[in-house]
Copies of this chain bind each other. A is one copy, B any other.
Amino acid sequence: MVKYIDIADDIREKIIEQTYTYGQKLPYEYVLCVTYHCNKETMKKALDILVKEGLIVRRRGAGTFVKDYDPSNDDVLKKGDRYGVGLTGKYQGFYRIRSEVVEFSVIPSDLEISKKLQIEEGSFVYHVIRARYLEEIPYVLEIIYMPISVIANLRLENVSNSIYAYIEDELGLKIQSSHKTITGELSTPLEQQYLELSEKEPFFQVEKVSYLSSGVIFEYSLNRYHYNQFEENTVTVHY
């Protein structure tokens, strides 16, 4: 549908399957434009996606080069984790995952939650607590709030499997962006129980607010990770 995304997908594929290998110079812009029948600006948009994913580096005056690419560390590349909600980095795709739904209810939002979700205080929201295990080792405790007005008819079945799949595939909604804050926090009995932490041990918390393409906030969540199970990769491109 969108040309520059298709082009990026194609070139990413070539890097993964090592048609383009580490350190190699990519054909320069003009050649790529001819190959993909597109304009220079469109090509730049495509390549900028790969720059943000950390797969290539572009050097004005020199060329475009494939970056050091470690296939065991390819979380950006897994379609299943496009929103950074699944397993990240080193643990992805290799282990058996089990989810345990600790809580699934509808509650009126309190001040904090209504502020984060930008809804009226007291509006009803789904309240989900879910523990995830990796080969039976506790991995993450997820606390999720979603307005019932935005995500309709969420069922236990969806919560047990993938909430994101339900939102995208069944409701046909598109997810636009997520705003995350990662902090360290001291564990309380809740995390000690589900993450098998000792007293005084900290956990990683990822606080997240997620937007649909319509601009509506559909989720406020707190993902709490055992500190030795957590990994997050980011690329920052300065301007």
Q: What residues of chain A have their CB less than 8 Å away from a CB belonging to chain B?
A: 2, 5, 41, 49, 51, 54, 57-60, 62, 65, 68, 82-84, 89, 115, 118, 175-186, 200-202, 204, 211, 213-215, 225-239
Contact = CB atoms under 8 A, between A and B. Distances in A.
Number of copies: 2
B215 A182 contact: no
B89 A238 contact: no
Contacts of A62: 214-215
Contacts of A5: 239
Given A59-B215, A83-B238, A84-B236, A228 B177 contact: no
Contacts of A204: 184, 204, 227
A228 B184 contact: yes
A40 to B, nearest CB: 12
A227 B225 CA distance: 13
A186 B54 contact: no
Contact of A184 (B57, B60, B225): B225
B49 A239 contact: yes
Contacts of A180: 233-236
